Amino acid sequence: MSLINTVGLTEEQLMMREGVLDLLAKHLPWEKIRKMDEAREFPHEAYEALADAGYIGLFYPEELGGMGGSYRDIAVFLETLGYYYTGIAQAITTSGIYAGMHIAKFGTPELKKELLPRIIAGKAKMALCMSEPGTGSDVAGVKTFAERQGDEYVLNGNKVWITCGHVADYFVVITRTDRDSSNRHQGISTLLVDAKSPGVTVRPLSMLGRRTTHANEVFFENVRVPASNLFGGEGRAWKNIMSCLGLERLGLSAISAGHCFKITEYARNYAQERIQFGQPISNFQVIQHKLADMLILSETARQMVYRLADVLDAGMPAVTEASIAKVVASENNFKCADIGMQIMGGAGYSNEYDMQMFFRDSRVGPIGGGTNEIQRNILAKQMDLV
C-alpha cells in the first residue's frame, strides 16, 4: 500500500502519475537499478521512453513545442519520478530544467528553434556548467573566461560537479566575459557549447550517491564557440540565473519529497516482515514511532512542495517558499533515510538491501542546487535580517 495521499490531484494528474510509474516499471525495472547504480550506468532507455511519451515537454510552454504544464503538474511529475528512483528524476531535470530552461527563457530564436524540439524529444541532452573548484556557492566568483575574437569566443576554464556532463550533447556554460567589471555580479554571460568541440574534456567523478547520473569535471581549453551561441545578453547571466531558481528548487524539492515516501514504504515493509522475539518488529511501539516520524517528515516535505507550486502558479514571487521547500524536503529526505537505516539495523547498512542506496542518494539534497546554508541566508535576507 502506497502512503502517498493523492487527494487534491486532478484526474489528469492522477493519470499522469500512474502512467509514469507504469512506464518506469517497464523500462527501468527495479532489479536493474541496483546493477546500474553499481556500474554507474546512465538510464538511457527510461530517459528515452519518458521523452517519447512527451513528458519532457511538460516543462515548456506550448508556443515552444511543449505541453505547457502548470507548476503543480510539474510537481506531480517530479515527485513521481523521485518516488520511483531519484536517478531518473535527476537525469530528466538536469537536461529539461537546469540547463534546458535557460535556452527556453533566454535563448535566441535560432537556438530555441534548433534545440528545444530535440531536448523535448530526448535527442539532445544538456548539462549546466556553473560550479567551479574555487566557486561552489559563490557563483559570482566564476573564473572561467570567454574572450571575444571576431565572430567567436575562445573559452578557457574548469567546471566541477557537473551533473550528467558525461552524457551531455551540449553544455550551458556560465562564464565571465568581462574581467574588468567593478561589480562582481556583472560581466558574467551564458554560452552554449557543443560537448564534442575540440578542447572540451569531461572527467567523470566517483560520487557517493546518484551514481547513474553522477557529477563530472569539465575542462575548456581554447574552445572556440560561435558568438551567436552567447544568449541572454552579454554580462546579464546573473539576473537570468536568479530568475530560474524557483522552478529549479521546485524540482529539487519534489524529487526529495517523493523519495521520502519511497524510503518510508521500504522501511515499513521490512519492519512488517522482520521477525524478532517471535513477532514482526512493526509490532513494537519504538519501531511504530520511528515509522510515524518518517511519515510526518514525508508529508511535511510534500506539503512544502505543493505550497511552492501553488505560489508559482499564482504568478507570485516565491523566493521564501522556494528556499523553505528546498530545505525542508532535502533535509527530511536524509532524515527519513537515516531513520530507515536504523530501523533495518545491520540490513540497512548492508549493500544487500536498497536502504544504503537510499541513504547515499538522499545525502546530496542539502548540498546541491544551492546549499541549505545558502537557503537560510536567503531566508534571513527575506526577513530583513541582512
Cell numbers placing 352: 544487500
- C-beta separation of 202 from 216 below 8 A: yes
Q: One of 79, 132, 248, 299 is an active-site residue; which one?
A: 248
Cell numbers placing 206: 566517483
Q: What amino acid occupies position 117? A: P
Other beta carbons within 10 angstroms of residue 272's beta carbon come to 14
Counts of helices then strands in the chain (DSSP H, E): 14, 10
Which helix (H) or strand (E) element contains residue 223? strand 216-226
- Residue whose C-alpha cell is 562582481: 184
- C-beta separation of 90 from 163 below 8 A: yes
Which of 299, 298, 293 minimizes the C-alpha distance to 342? 293
How would DSSP label each residue in 75-139? Answer: HHHHHHHHHH-HHHHHHHHIIIIIIHHHHHHH--HHHHHHHHHHHHTTSS-EEEE--BTTBSS-G
Which of 238, 198, 239 minimizes the C-alpha distance to 222? 198
Which of 24, 161, 1, 8 minimizes the C-alpha distance to 89? 24
Verify whether residue 248 is a known catalytic residue. yes
Cell numbers placing 182: 567593478
CA angle 372-376-382, nearest 5°?
140
Which of 340, 254, 224 minimizes the C-alpha distance to 81? 254
Residues with a known catalytic role:
248
